[in-house]
Structure 1
Amino acid sequence: MKNLGLFCLLLACIGLESCNTKPKDVEVQALDETPTSVQCYKALYEKDTLDLKINTLKSGKITGELVMKVLDRAEKVGKIAGEFRGDTLFVDYSFISGTDKATYKNPMALLKRGNELILGNGKIETYLGTSSFVKGQPIDFDNVKYKFTAVDCVGK
């Protein structure tokens, strides 16, 4: 019985150690990877301004920065990370809004048409604290506010 208890304890320790495989190191490595290309975009709608910087990594992943200045709302400053699926860029936008310093994360879909990126509108659901687009529901790229046009990257 004593040996069985030691065996179970040893097995539990091995199991806990194997859970510590550090998958975040791979993610951090991808974020530190030097981009193969950098593109900047700007979207203007009435008095709103959105500035987007996209880094394309060797792996095909996309990282970047997005600043949203929307009239009568707190400025949102954050990072994007995702990938292209066909002609649509799907990213998670992690940002800080206003003075509360809380970090938020929302999904975004941007359709590439020529030199333009169109920010789509879609139904979003939250499950276990993670927001994502509702599967089976279309994302509208026609009735939108924000269409990003390519601009020169200045000071970024």
Structure 2
Amino acid sequence: MKSLFSLFLLAIAIAACKGPKEDSPLDAAFSPSEEHVEKINTACFLYFGEKDTVRLKTLIDGTTVTGTLDYAFFEKDKNSGTIEGEIRGDMLIAEYTFLSEGVTSKRQVVFKNTAEGWKEGYGEMKSVGDIPVQANIDSLDYSHPMVLSPSPCD
């Protein structure tokens, strides 16, 4: 009787140790790969004016946003860098770390999702720990014509 019980336990142990479970096709369809998730959560926006260009690429995870932001204004130094911030309602508020003329700098950027597209807000700046930030986010000016519209990501 004891050996029969031992054989039963051995059979259960072998059945439980089949190795890692392979995903069924249904599981795979509802568990997208990292690349697929990144494509879903990645969005690109572009302003292409007569002589100016602004490119914004965002990767959104919940309310957290990371990405890249590049400015190319006519007869001005190009700025190219990264953003880290958050979505608050219809606004993207981020710290922009950028390289211009070989110097790395930081400043706050605020974009508002308007009926026309994403528009950067401009207003009075103040310094917080050597980083320029908007003095009053609620009173920013979005009346300029520079609108970042959805664009294919490169």
1:140 aligns with 2:141: yes
Whichever residue aligns with residue 75 of structure 2, its letter is D
Matches of 2:51 and 2:65 in 1, distance apart? Answer: 28
- Among 46, 60, 66, the residue aligned to 1:56: 60
- Among 59, 72, 84, the residue aligned to 1:69: 72
Partner deviation per Cα, 1:48-95 (whole Å, 9 max, x = no partner): 0011101002x4200000111111112111001111111111111110
With normalisation by structure 2, the TM-score equals 0.69
Count of residue pairs brought into register by the alignment: 117
More strand by share: 1
Residue of structure 2 in register with 1:39 after alignment = 43
On the 8 A contact 1:115/1:150 being kept in 2, the answer is: no
In the alignment, structure 2 segments of 5+ residues that lack a partner are 1-36
- Among 79, 84, 87, the residue aligned to 2:87: 84
On the 8 A contact 2:123/2:136 being kept in 1, the answer is: no
Whichever residue aligns with residue 46 of structure 1, its letter is E
| RMSD (CA atoms) | 1.9
Runs of 4+ aligned residues of structure 1 deviating over 6 Å after TM superposition are none
Q: Report the alpha carbon displacement of residue 140 of structure 1 after superposing the two structures with TM.
A: 1.1
In the alignment, structure 1 segments of 5+ residues that lack a partner are 1-33
Name the % identity.
Answer: 23
Higher Cα Rg, which structure: 2
Matches of 1:130 and 1:66 in 2, distance apart? Answer: 17
Q: SS of the counterpart of 1:125? A: strand
- The structure-2 alpha-carbon separation of the partners of 1:115 and 1:146, relative to structure 1 and needing over 3 Å to count, comes to closer
- The structure-2 alpha-carbon separation of the partners of 1:133 and 1:96, relative to structure 1 and needing over 3 Å to count, comes to same
Q: Report the alpha carbon displacement of residue 131 of structure 1 after superposing the two structures with TM.
A: 1.6
Matches of 2:146 and 2:52 in 1, distance apart? Answer: 9
